[in-house]
Amino acid sequence: MSEHLAPYDSPRHRDETAIAGMWLFLASEILLFGGLFLIFVVYSHTRAAGWALGVRHTNLMIGGINTALLLTSSMAYTLGVDAARNENARGVILAGLSAAGLGVTFLCLKGWEWHTELADHLFPGPGFALGGPQAGGAQLFYSFYFLSTALHGLHMLVGIGLIGWICLRTYRGRSAPLIAMPVEVVGLYWSFVDLVWVLLFPVLYLIGRV
């Protein structure tokens, strides 16, 4: 058994290493998104009026619905992690498909939002729709908006791909005992993507709106 587990001492050691490895990766992700939040901290302070002008032009309805979708998706996948611990393959697949489906809906809505914003000439650069003395701050806001939502969307795509892989893996190996650790590690990533959005949502849609 020890040869099969090498280089780990026990299954518990192996599982804890997998969880710690994912947390180390997430710590690096905290710093990646931290740079974005630094942009928010600095420019929402130094260009407050222009930044708030940008916030007022975002679509709160889509942002709010997307937040609820992502919270529900994260909840669904966490139920899938519980199912994996109980060796319930069907539960894992159902939860995974629900979570991935909600994630795809999130991305579709975000795509629609981007489409309307590009049609309204809210992409920073020549021809930017908002004029006046606060236009510079609003352009900074929209630079932040497009960069942060694109980076988050990229993480969503990776997460949906990982959940798809988990579902496929579980479906193919449904006759064998279910290994819960990959399900749990992907769950950590998916919940982190949700956590980042929970912090981005007020920054992009709420703070400075009124």
Partner 1 sequence: MARVLSCWGLLLMLLAVELVLAAVGANWGIGGCAGLMALLIACGFMRMMRAPTLAAIFAIGGLFWLSVLLALGSLDSFTRTNFPVGDTLSSPAPNPRIPPDTAP
Q: Considering the complex, what minimum distance in angstroms separates the CB of residue 39 from partner 1?
A: 9
Q: Distance (Å, rounded) from C-alpha 205 to C-alpha 148?
A: 13
Which tokens belong to 56?
A: 């007022």
Q: Distance (Å, rounded) from C-alpha 82 to C-alpha 207?
A: 36
Candidate list 72, 88, 105, 143; residue touching partner 1; CB under 8 A: 72
Taking CA atoms, 68 is separated from 29, 63, 105, 201, in Å, by: 23, 9, 11, 11
- If the CB atoms of residues 52 and 178 are measured against partner 1, the closer one turns out to be 52
- If the CB atoms of residues 17 and 116 are measured against partner 1, the closer one turns out to be 17
User: What is the size of the binding site for partner 1 (CB under 8 A)?
Assistant: 53
113 Cβ contact partners less than 8 Å away, ≥ 6 residues apart: 59, 62, 63
- If the CB atoms of residues 49 and 119 are measured against partner 1, the closer one turns out to be 49
Q: Considering the complex, what minimum distance in angstroms separates the CB of residue 79 from partner 1?
A: 6
Residues 164-203 that bind partner 1 (CB under 8 A): 187-188, 191-192, 194-195, 198-199, 201-202
Residues 103-122 that bind partner 1 (CB under 8 A): none
The stretch near partner 1 (CB under 8 A) out of 2-10, 67-75, 100-108, 170-178 is 67-75
Is the backbone peptide bond immediately before 7 cis, with ω within 30 degrees of 0? yes
Check residue 130 and give left, alpha or beta (phi > 0: left; psi -120 to 50: alpha).
beta
Is position 157 an interface residue for partner 1 (rule: CB under 8 A)? no
CA dihedral 64, 76, 36, 50 (to 10 degrees): 0
Which tokens belong to 75?
A: 């909840």
Is position 74 an interface residue for partner 1 (rule: CB under 8 A)? yes
91 Cβ contact partners less than 8 Å away, ≥ 6 residues apart: 79, 80, 82, 83, 84
Candidate list 46, 132, 165, 171; residue touching partner 1; CB under 8 A: 46
Residues found near partner 1 in the complex (CB under 8 A): 16, 19-20, 22-24, 26-28, 30-31, 34-35, 37-38, 41-43, 45-48, 60, 64, 67-68, 71-72, 74-75, 78-79, 82, 135-137, 140, 187-188, 191-192, 194-195, 198-199, 201-202, 205-210
